[in-house]
């Protein structure tokens, strides 16, 4: 089961799906709430990342491997705490609740994502710009092709609500200690807050960590061939 990042959709995994199918996997790529072909989230409607967790967990009808990126990685972690999951391969899961007093330095960088922004259509463009530039680097929003920016605008309320609520996650490292097999992937240039999550998760779970050279947080798109090849290897190595 493949879980995409905020603002993306199941189409994010277009290159990964055939690689997994060729190795005998039955693949389900989910469109999370308000994204892709899912029912759009109405402007002003309340939504939490926990709603995505509940929907994904309810859709698992047999033990599954989960592959998640960023927001999808956070959802995957919490699905694995409640549903039948055989293993996880996650790229930069944004499980910020795992950070503690040792991480006060990096928490200040997260302030670049203004949680009070994007509350109206008039402020949505600037909020989306700050969100995309935080994760993709300065100028990432401007570098997007127009169809990609239009898609972010279309799903902007779902993105905003998911981000706003995930920042309230307080799940600590001990909660993840008994997870099924977990493999983590990150980018050489991933923002420090997400890299610190990788460090804390690895320490709590003894998960392996793969660093993709030259990649950042959006490595599954910018370095798709390397990331997808590693995902396939890691899944094949799991029980």
Cα 125 from Cα 26, distance rounded (Å): 38
Domains (ranges, CATH) in the chain? 2-237 (3.40.50.1820)
The 10s digit of each residue's pLDDT in 79-132 is 999 989 999 999 999 999 999 888 888 877 776 676 666 666 657 888 899 999
pLDDT at residue 115, as a whole number = 61
- Distance in Å from the first CA to the final CA of the chain: 16
The 10s digit of each residue's pLDDT in 179-224 is 999 999 999 999 999 999 999 999 999 999 999 999 999 999 999 9
User: Which of 70, 20, 65, 19 has its CA nearest to residue 193?
Assistant: 70
For 190, half-sphere exposure in the C-beta direction (CA atoms, 13 angstrom radius) is 26
The 10s digit of each residue's pLDDT in 11-67 is 999 999 999 999 999 999 999 999 999 999 998 999 999 999 999 999 999 999 999
pLDDT at residue 104, as a whole number = 81
Please report the DSSP string for 131-200 in residue order.
Answer: HHHHHH-TTHHHHS-HHHHHHHHHTHHHHHHHHHHHTT----GGGGTT-SSEEEEEETT--HHHHHHHHH
Cα 184 from Cα 217, distance rounded (Å): 13
Q: Computed from CA positions of residues 33, 37, 39, 45, in that sequence, does the dihedral angle turn out positive or negative?
A: positive
pLDDT at residue 125, as a whole number = 85
The 10s digit of each residue's pLDDT in 142-190 is 999 999 999 999 999 999 999 999 988 999 999 999 999 999 999 999 9
CA 50 to chain centre: 13
For 78, half-sphere exposure in the C-beta direction (CA atoms, 13 angstrom radius) is 25
pLDDT at residue 222, as a whole number = 96
pLDDT at residue 118, as a whole number = 61
The torsion angle over the Cα atoms of residues 220, 182, 92 and 77, rounded to 10 degrees, is 110
User: Which of 209, 194, 142 has its CA nearest to residue 6?
Assistant: 194
Cα 222 from Cα 4, distance rounded (Å): 14
Residues 6+ apart with CB under 8 A from 31: 4, 9, 10, 37, 38
120: left (phi over 0), alpha (psi -120 to 50) or beta: beta
pTM equals: 0.95
Cα 17 from Cα 7, distance rounded (Å): 19
């Amino acid at each position: 089961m493949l879980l995409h990042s905020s603002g993306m959709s199941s189409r994010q995994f277009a290159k990964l799906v055939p690689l997994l199918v060729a190795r005998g996997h039955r693949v389900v790529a989910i469109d999370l709430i308000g994204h892709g072909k899912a029912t759009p989230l109405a402007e002003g409607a309340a939504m939490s990342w926990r709603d995505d967790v509940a929907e994904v967990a309810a859709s698992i009808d047999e033990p599954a491997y989960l592959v998640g990126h960023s927001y999808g990685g956070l959802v995957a972690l919490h699905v694995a705490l409640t549903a039948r999951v055989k293993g996880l391969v996650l790229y930069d899961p944004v499980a910020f609740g795992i950070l503690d007093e040792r991480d006060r330095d990096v928490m200040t960088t997260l302030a670049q994502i203004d949680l009070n922004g994007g509350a109206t259509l008039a402020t949505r463009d600037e909020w989306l710009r700050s969100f995309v530039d935080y994760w993709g680097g300065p100028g990432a929003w401007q570098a997007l092709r127009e169809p990609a920016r239009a898609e972010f605008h279309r799903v902007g309320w779902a993105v905003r609500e998911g981000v706003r609520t995930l920042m309230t996650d307080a799940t600590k490292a001990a909660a993840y200690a008994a997870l099924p097999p977990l493999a983590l992937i990150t980018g050489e240039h991933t923002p420090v807050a997400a890299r610190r999550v990788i460090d804390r998760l690895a320490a709590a779970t003894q998960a392996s960590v793969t660093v993709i050279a030259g990649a950042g947080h959006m490595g599954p798109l910018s370095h798709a061939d390397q990331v997808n090849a590693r995902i396939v290897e890691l899944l094949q190595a799991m029980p």
